[in-house]
Amino acid sequence: MTKRLFMKGNEALAMAAIEAGCRYYFGYPITPQSDIPEYMSRELPKLGGEFIQAESEVASINMLLGASATGVRAMTSSSSPGISLKQEGISYMAGAELPGVIVNICRSGPGLGGIDASQADYFQAVKGGGHGGYHIIVLAPASVQEMYDLTMLAFDLADIYRMPAMILGDSVVGQMKEPVVPNKRPERNLPPKDWVVRGKGDGEQRVVKSLYLGDGELEAHNWKLHARYGELKAKEARWEEFMLDDAELVVTAFGSAARIAKSAVMAARDKGLKVGLLRPITLYPFPEKGFRAATDRCKKVLDIELNTGQMVEDVRLSIARDAEVFFYGRPPGAGSLPTPEELLEQITKHYV
């Protein structure tokens, strides 16, 4: 029988990071993700790894930058305000083509906001939250199992594409307990890390940097990064399709909102409404092909988010030209998490 554990999303994520070979963690306490540094502080020393509770979010992302430059697998985690502070380092990592996993167990905002489940950091995550025009890989788990599996994927994708990868969750997927199968690290062909600093030995000097001052250098560097984003889009977009084949209304949502939306879709099916769910798993690269294919056939999309409308912009850019997009969202905060009944009402309203 397959071993199953009953555990919290944040702990599953931390466990998966270790299974993926992560031995270096740098972080700072913030609700609702503190289970992750707590887990790492307990487990990493047993494995000869290093855990540092940094003096700040800024320091922890820069420790990640330094560790990653030596070629090891490393991670940091935080929640929205902390992720804002890390943006400087994320931009430098993107510029210097450094892998590394950054976890954002989002809380609500703007500002100090609150600690409730939120998807208001979508723009910040997928549009390049720091300066300079870049992207990072963004994965959106919707279950504890995905907190586990997508974390291992994040490490692999970061190494393959030499860019930071982010897990974008919230307190729903971070704090709830569900059964999880602790899968083994998948076998994958990873490129050799022939760019890492190690002390030059008898070889050539290696430099990890994002400064390019020579004539034409920076433009060429940016085009190179841009081409990599194109490759990422072509090869790595992932999404889940649920009851889409005969759907006359496509509901779309990611992460925790997708769980509630799925319940509403099932309730709609019980009432005889042909409704399906398209759930982006990668938010960057955005599953444009999935949306295009779905809306080539079905002309109505209802986008549901725990914010006032962010992913919906990417949905509109991805659909067939004659498809129509509706939006239902609630900005995060205490008491604002929509119920399946509430979403069913929206589905019924737009189905006709």
Two tokens, residue 188? 């994958």
Cα separations in angstroms, 191 against 94, 156, 159, 273: 18, 10, 7, 47
Two tokens, residue 174? 């971070």
Q: Residues 147, 167: contact at Cβ < 8 Å?
A: yes
Closest approach, Cβ 269 to another protein, in A, equals 50
Binds another protein (CB under 8 A): choice among 111, 192, 199, 272: 199
Name the DSSP class of 161: H
Cα separations in angstroms, 248 against 26, 264, 287: 47, 15, 20
Phi/psi of residue 41, nearest 5 degrees:
-65, -25
Cα separations in angstroms, 183 against 5, 13, 174, 227, 340: 11, 12, 18, 32, 31
| Residue in the structure block whose two tokens are 């931009």 | 91
Q: Pick the stretch among 62-70, 138-146, 254-262, 313-321 that binds another protein (CB under 8 A).
A: 62-70
Is 192 a binder of another protein (CB under 8 A)?
no
Q: Which residue number, 69 or 249, has a Cβ lying nearer to another protein?
A: 69
Closest approach, Cβ 265 to another protein, in A, equals 44
Is 131 a binder of another protein (CB under 8 A)?
no
Question: Residue 64's closest CA among 143, 166, 142?
Answer: 166
Is 307 a binder of another protein (CB under 8 A)?
no
Footprint of another protein on 71-90 (CB under 8 A):
71-72, 74, 88-89
Q: Which residues contact 38 (CB under 8 A, 6 or more apart)?
A: none
Closest approach, Cβ 45 to another protein, in A, equals 12
Angle at 326 between CA 352 and CA 170, to 5 degrees: 125
Q: Which residue number, 70 or 336, has a Cβ lying nearer to another protein?
A: 70
Size of the site for another protein (CB under 8 A): 39
Footprint of another protein on 310-339 (CB under 8 A):
none
Binds another protein (CB under 8 A): choice among 5, 21, 31, 70: 70
SS3 332: coil
Q: Pick the stretch among 67-75, 172-180, 235-243, 303-311 that binds another protein (CB under 8 A).
A: 67-75
Two tokens, residue 331? 């900005």
Q: Which residue number, 206 or 271, has a Cβ lying nearer to another protein?
A: 206
Name the DSSP class of 324: E
Is 52 a binder of another protein (CB under 8 A)?
yes
Binding mask 204-223 for another protein (x = CB under 8 A): -xxxxxxx------------
CA–CA separation, 58 and 226 (whole Å): 26
Closest approach, Cβ 200 to another protein, in A, equals 5
Q: Tell me which amino acid residue 245 is.
A: D
Q: Pick the stretch among 9-17, 50-58, 221-229, 330-338 that binds another protein (CB under 8 A).
A: 50-58
Evaluate the omega torsion of the peptide bond into residue 141 and state whether it is cis, within 30 degrees of 0. Answer: no
Is 198 a binder of another protein (CB under 8 A)?
yes
Binds another protein (CB under 8 A): choice among 33, 34, 62, 80: 62
Is 16 a binder of another protein (CB under 8 A)?
no
Closest approach, Cβ 36 to another protein, in A, equals 18
Is 185 a binder of another protein (CB under 8 A)?
no
By the criterion CB under 8 A, which residues form the site for another protein?
24, 26, 50, 52, 54-56, 58-60, 62-72, 74, 88-89, 92, 96, 197-202, 205-211
